[in-house]
């Protein structure tokens, strides 16, 4: 996926339905990235129910 296309999609979509997160300069190999723990932590927080997120 081209990063520019993803950014354009996120910018055009309603903020209430889109959450965008960039992990530059990662290579879309989440199971092999040295930073995979950070990626998985962000994904887990995004998947958690809103009521269990910090500050809610």
Tens-binned pLDDT, residue by residue, of the chain (56 aa): 678 998 999 999 998 888 888 888 888 787 788 888 998 999 999 898 776 656 65
CB count within 10 Å of CB 42 equals 13
29 SS3 class: coil
Q: Which residue range(s) make up the domain with 50?
A: 19-56
What confidence score (pLDDT) does residue 41 get?
92
pLDDT of 22 reads 86
Q: Give Dmax over CA atoms of the chain in angstroms.
A: 33
Asked whether residue 1 is assigned to any structural domain, the reply reads no
Q: Give the 3-state secondary structure of residue 15.
A: coil
When divided into structural domains, the chain yields a total of 1
Kindly state the tokens that stand for 37: 């723990």
**pTM for this entry:** 0.64
Q: What pLDDT does residue 23 have?
A: 85
State both tokens at 50: 């809103």
SS3 (DSSP) at 27: coil
Q: Is residue 10 part of a domain?
A: no
């Amino acid at each position: 996926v081209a990063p520019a296309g993803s950014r354009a999609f996120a910018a055009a979509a309603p903020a209430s339905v889109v959450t965008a997160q960039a992990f530059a300069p990662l290579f879309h190999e989440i199971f092999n990235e040295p930073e995979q723990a950070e990626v998985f932590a962000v994904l887990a927080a995004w998947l958690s129910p809103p009521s269990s997120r910090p500050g809610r």
